[in-house]
Structure formats: C-alpha cells, structure tokens
Amino acid sequence: MSSTTMTLDDCRALDREDPLRNLRDQFTLPEGVIYLDGNSLGVLPKSAPARIAEVVTKEWGEGLIRSWNTASWFDLPQRLGDKVARLIGAAPGEVVCTDSTSINLYKVLFAALSQVAQSGSNRKVVVSERSNFPTDLYIAESLCRERGFTLKLIEAADLAASLTDEVAVLMLTHVNYRTGAMHDMKAVTTAAHAAGALTVWDLAHSAGAVPVALNECDADFAVGCSYKYLNGGPGAPAFVWVHTRHAGQFEQPLSGWWGHAAPFEFTPHYRPAPGVSRYLCGTQPIVSLAGLECGLDTVLAAEAFNNGFGSMAALRTKSLALTDAFITLVEARCPDRFALVTPRDHAQRGSQVSLAMADAAEADANAAYAIVQALIARGVIGDFRAGDAQMPHILRFGFTPLYLGFEDVWHSVEHIVQVLETEEWKRPEFNRKNAVT
C-alpha cells in the first residue's frame, strides 16, 4: 500500500493477519499506554508475579538454604544462559547469565587483551565507536589505561579504515542505542579477523530484537542485557558468551568462587572452571534471575512460528514491518517535521526508530524533549536522548514485536500528529528547562 493510503483499518487488517498476534497475551500491559520503550525496559510477563512469589515464599521462605540444591539455584546462570543461547546463535553451555553488562564487558575485554598480550603481539589499540553506549566506553577507557592499551574512538563510517595492524580488539555494540543502526556482524567480524583483531560485541539492543548468529559469524566475545527486549525485569542480570576456542583458555580477573572449578571444596587457590562458567564471579540475585527466566520464555515462545529459520526469524519479520509502518506513517502524516535517524535499509536497522527534528529552528534539545514528554503524558511512552555537537537530539521509539501491533503504530503516529498540530508540546510542563532531573 502507498504511504498516503495507510489507514487505521489497514493497520487492523495487518494485526488480524499477524501470526504472532497472540504472543501479546503473555504480558500485562498497563491500561491506556502504548509502550515504545521496550528497548529500555521490557514489560512484565504475566507469569512473572506468580513465579517470583513462589521463589520468595516457597524457595526462600520454606526451602531456605536447602534451595540452593533442591530448587537448583546454583544452576540458574547456566540454565538461563542456555535459553539466551537459542536467541543469539550460540550453543548450549556457551552462555551464562550473571552480573551486569558493564561488568561482563570488563571480563571479556580483559580476557581479549590478555590473549593479545600473551600471543606476543605488539597491537596496543582498542577500537570502538564514539557513539557506543557510554558505559562500554567507560569500562574500556579504564581497562585500556590499566593494561597499557589505547582506546581509539571512531565514527561508524571509518570502521574499515580503522582496522590497522595496531588494532588488538574491535569492541562494538551491534545495534546502536541512539540511532538503531545495526552492524553487519559477519562482515565486520570477518574484516576484523582479516586485520588480525579480536571482536567484542555488545548485544544489549540485539538479543530478542534482531537475529544474532554469534557462532556463524565466528565472533570472539559477546555480552548483553536482559531487561530490554528479553523482558527480564528491572536490572535483571546480564549475559556473557565466549567462543569455545577462547572460553577455557583465558582467565578473567573477577575470579570469584562461582567461577571456580570446585567452589565447595573451599580451597585457598583459584582454579577456573572449564568453559564459560569461569566468567561467573559471586553469588547471583536469585529473585531477579527468576524474573529473567519468565522474560526469556516469552521470547522463546516465538520459536514455534519460525519454520526452521532460526529462533528470531518470525519476530524479525514483524519488527521490520512495524518499524516500516511507523516510518511510512510519520513521513506521510508529519511531512518535513522529522528527519529519520535510523537506517531505512532493513539490513542496517534494529528494532527501533529514532527521529530528529528536521527544521533547524526546531532542532534544539527542547523540541525533541518536549514532544517526547507530551507523548508520555498521553500514554505513548518513548524516550529522549540528548545530542551534542556531532549527534542530533533524538526522539527514540522501540518496537517490540512480541507485544506491539500495527494498530499501536497507527495510534502512536496519531498522537504525534496531535501533539504537533495542537502545539501541546510547547506547554511549560514539557519544557526541558523545567525538568526535575
């Protein structure tokens, strides 16, 4: 259909034809909200309250210390890791759920730098993108300084040229948190390896959002977040994957007892567990891990629709259709008001759409910020990310195919149209100068 003729009825028809439409029933969605921020915090699986209550009252309250064995608390990082593995093209036993993304990045980047140093290489540069999520850069900055490496920040366009013979590690986030632009993991990994560099991938905006094939891409290390598209709950533990050719070979420095080969022998010297289990450190928050399992199961429920194309294929098809519809409707109904920041090319797009103000006079922080605030007041929850001299201020909208439909897209754009037409976004309460934070 052409952009001028896409109507609410068209969107309803797309929803009726959507094979994944019933997956939404897995979630509790608040009344009156269109939630376009699942890229920041995923929604509540209906199964989570009862499962978490069971862990609290039965496993903790009644089982007490016995539950480490009887409720298999000890195995949770590996058991949940095996579920994550199905979503990122990894094999059972290659992923553990533990700690935060930042901490896991520290572990794998440390291991990667150790491998480079131990190989006798003179490579002393870690390359990343200037627009990478800041915590990744902070961790790399500290680690590079400590280990005698240099962190070099580049623009995405300069990626190929940056892969010189000085580069030890290429550390990238697969899908950019601001723009939603996605790297070609296979091509980039192949280029990095050809240049003699290892790859570290952050899958924070990829896991559960786009197909990922870590083993097929021959990636080296990966970490990711569980509370965005994996619906694990606020601050649920992150995950870490290491290619089997590296997993058993290098020690990560957070050498706590959960990563020991025999933690309950209580021996005074560290002996790392085989494989990825050595990337565990201390005791994990069991109640939050229980919530994560409910979230993972909501995504894995989509496997039934995939016809052998990998666990994420059906979700990806719907995700692209949703973001296509949003782009089409915004451009048709708000002509010349927004510039599309997210790539139009499917191969380069994650599961979000980021917009900047098109008009130079409106491209200040306040217009983008205020429109997002006005939308939130109407129950359309996206978010604002401030820009700087090199990056525009953006309105960010995440599209989670598990619980969003085409009618949601239509209503979101309708609200944007109304916020603009009524100039409601110019109200003082939406002005960034009046923001409490």
Write out the catalytic residue numbers. 133, 202, 227-228, 396
Amino acid at 43: V
Distance in Å, CB of 219 to a copy of itself, minimum? 21
Binders of a copy of itself in range 78-117 (CB under 8 A): 99-103, 106
Distance in Å, CB of 134 to a copy of itself, minimum? 5
Q: Which residues contact 260 (CB under 8 A, 6 or more apart)?
A: 270, 271, 272, 273
Q: Are 413 and 3 in contact (CB under 8 A)?
A: no
| Using rule CB under 8 A, residue 119 touches a copy of itself | no
Task: Kindly state the tokens that stand for 177.
Answer: 């948190």
- Tell me the DSSP string of 204-242: TTTTTTS---HHHHT--EEEE-SSSTT---TT---EEEE
Cα gap 325→201, rounded to integer Å: 29
Segment lying near a copy of itself (by CB under 8 A), choices 10-18, 130-138, 329-337, 359-367? 130-138
Q: Which is nearer to a copy of itself, 66 or 344 (CB)?
A: 66
Q: Which residues contact 258 (CB under 8 A, 6 or more apart)?
A: 77, 98, 280, 281, 282, 283, 284
Segment lying near a copy of itself (by CB under 8 A), choices 15-23, 66-74, 159-167, 347-355? 66-74
Q: Are 51 and 178 in contact (CB under 8 A)?
A: no
Segment lying near a copy of itself (by CB under 8 A), choices 52-60, 164-172, 297-305, 347-355? 52-60
**Of 19, 92, 274, 282, which lies in the binding site for a copy of itself, with binding defined by CB under 8 A?**
282
Distance in Å, CB of 150 to a copy of itself, minimum? 14
DSSP 175: B
| Using rule CB under 8 A, residue 238 touches a copy of itself | yes
Cα gap 366→72, rounded to integer Å: 50
Task: Kindly state the tokens that stand for 122.
Answer: 């003179």
DSSP 126: E
Distance in Å, CB of 414 to a copy of itself, minimum? 21
| Using rule CB under 8 A, residue 208 touches a copy of itself | no
Distance in Å, CB of 65 to a copy of itself, minimum? 5
Q: Are 280 and 256 in contact (CB under 8 A)?
A: yes
Distance in Å, CB of 16 to a copy of itself, minimum? 27
Segment lying near a copy of itself (by CB under 8 A), choices 18-26, 88-96, 276-284, 420-428? 276-284
Cα gap 304→20, rounded to integer Å: 10
Please state whether beta strands 167-173 and 198-202 pair in parallel, antiparallel, or not at all (unpaired). parallel
Segment lying near a copy of itself (by CB under 8 A), choices 64-72, 85-93, 115-123, 416-424? 64-72
Q: Which is nearer to a copy of itself, 204 or 325 (CB)?
A: 204
Task: Kindly state the tokens that stand for 145.
Answer: 């300084």
| Using rule CB under 8 A, residue 73 touches a copy of itself | yes
Burial class (CB in 10 A: 0-12, 13-18, 19+), 32: exposed
Which secondary structure element, helix H or strand E, spans residue 78, and what is its range? helix 76-87
| Using rule CB under 8 A, residue 251 touches a copy of itself | yes
Q: Which is nearer to a copy of itself, 141 or 297 (CB)?
A: 141
**Of 237, 350, 401, 405, which lies in the binding site for a copy of itself, with binding defined by CB under 8 A?**
237
Q: Which residues contact 213 (CB under 8 A, 6 or more apart)?
A: 88, 89, 185, 186, 310
Neighbours of 338 (CB within 10 A): 24
| Using rule CB under 8 A, residue 234 touches a copy of itself | yes
Binders of a copy of itself in range 11-40 (CB under 8 A): 28, 30, 33, 35, 37, 40
Q: Which is nearer to a copy of itself, 13 or 156 (CB)?
A: 156
Q: Which is nearer to a copy of itself, 61 or 92 (CB)?
A: 61
Distance in Å, CB of 287 to a copy of itself, minimum? 5
Residues in contact with a copy of itself, counted by CB under 8 A, come to a total of: 86
**Of 8, 160, 304, 386, which lies in the binding site for a copy of itself, with binding defined by CB under 8 A?**
386
**Of 1, 16, 19, 66, which lies in the binding site for a copy of itself, with binding defined by CB under 8 A?**
66
**Of 23, 43, 125, 312, which lies in the binding site for a copy of itself, with binding defined by CB under 8 A?**
43
Contact flags string 133-152 toward a copy of itself, x per CB under 8 A: -xx-xxx-xxx--x------
DSSP 62: I
Cα gap 381→365, rounded to integer Å: 18
Binders of a copy of itself in range 401-420 (CB under 8 A): none
Angle at 409 between CA 306 and CA 384, to 5 degrees: 105
Q: Are 425 and 370 in contact (CB under 8 A)?
A: yes
Angle at 427 between CA 426 and CA 432, to 5 degrees: 75
Q: Which is nearer to a copy of itself, 189 or 412 (CB)?
A: 412
Binders of a copy of itself in range 253-272 (CB under 8 A): 253-258, 260, 263-270
Q: 170 by DSSP, 3-state: which?
A: strand
